[in-house]
Amino acid sequence: MTIREATDADRAVLEELVAEYLDEHWSRPYPPPELPDSYLDDGRVIVAEVDGAVVGVAKGELRGGLGHVSLVYLRPDARGKGGGKDLVRELAKHFREQGVGHISLNVELPNDEALAYWRRFGFTDYRRSLLTDLDSLEHRLSGGTVPSTGSVHVQTDDQAAVEKGVARFGPRVVRSRETVVAAPRNGWIGVYDDVAGGEPDRLRKLASELSYVTGGVVLALGIERGDVVRLVAFERGQMMDEYLSVPEYYGVLPPGDVMALRANPTLLGRLTGADPASVRAIARTAGSAAELPPAPEHLEQLASALGIEQAAIGMDEAKGADGAVVVTHD
């Protein structure tokens, strides 16, 4: 593999490589930008070539006294042969000639493979980039919060037993006029209540009581303040596991408490029959909600991995489903 300076003759293939890079790695919750025509003219651009064909590109420039690596990309069939290391070595040599002492780069948070790759070469965190959508920011700046939503899911096909439990505990725990008990789906019965869904503590209490009265596995699943996903698993009335997608969303916690809010995929697999690897891949935690998929999408992915259908629907939609029963509380 040959590393050389990019030339004007490489322009077309370089634009293809940049487009391939964005298509493969872009994971931010907004579309990739339209890059200006001058993007490939700024800084230093080098290419990796095999048998006369350009298979990779790297780009670096000076930013605030740092040498910044803004792009390293190899086509899939050219990877694993040292080309990435050779491209970065050439950029490092260039930065050394410019009198630069430090090099920076950015890694998309879901790209754990790239993060591990760069850490092996000594790259470490030196700042965090934070992101939120404008609508949510303006809502919070005005003092408002997005309502929480949630539902309870009982691992049973005995709908009558769940209805009986809801009728027993609803008036005391939920304090709403009515609760919807869905028909069994894939071995789970959903319980929907507007009051409990909007108050995570009530939702958790309802799940705990239903687990106690049915003697089985019950999950409370919800989105809190429109931002974070929470799962609480109960078995025979005892809490077995808890997951919050942003553990320190409500404030700084001791390290042990942060760890406690990370899902235990092995345990959840035993309780629900889900594939632990699938749960592990989805039940990730982060320092901010912006680093994860949008909360509704994240909730649906997690519920699907656990074999639960219709976790994200509201009470009105649940009422209209076939076989749903409305339990009225006096």
Q: Average pLDDT by consecutive 10-residue portion of the chain (330 residues)?
A: 90 90 79 80 90 92 90 90 91 92 85 85 85 74 81 96 90 84 95 92 94 95 93 96 95 91 96 96 91 92 95 88 89
Q: Tell the residue number behind the tokens 């919750």, with chain if given.
A: 29
Q: Which of 53, 59, 55, 105 is nearest to 82 (CA)?
A: 55
For 53, counting Cβ atoms within 10 Å of its Cβ (0-12 exposed, 13-18 middle, 19+ buried), the class is exposed
pLDDT at 269: 96
Cα 197 from Cα 194, distance rounded (Å): 5
pLDDT at 295: 92
Whole-Å CA distances, 74 to 1, 16, 54, 81, 128? 12, 12, 9, 10, 26
pLDDT at 176: 81
Cα 103 from Cα 181, distance rounded (Å): 57
Query: How many CA atoms lie within 13 Å of 250's alpha carbon, on the beta-carbon side?
Result: 11
Q: Hey, what amino acid is at 94?
A: H
Tell me the pTM.
0.62
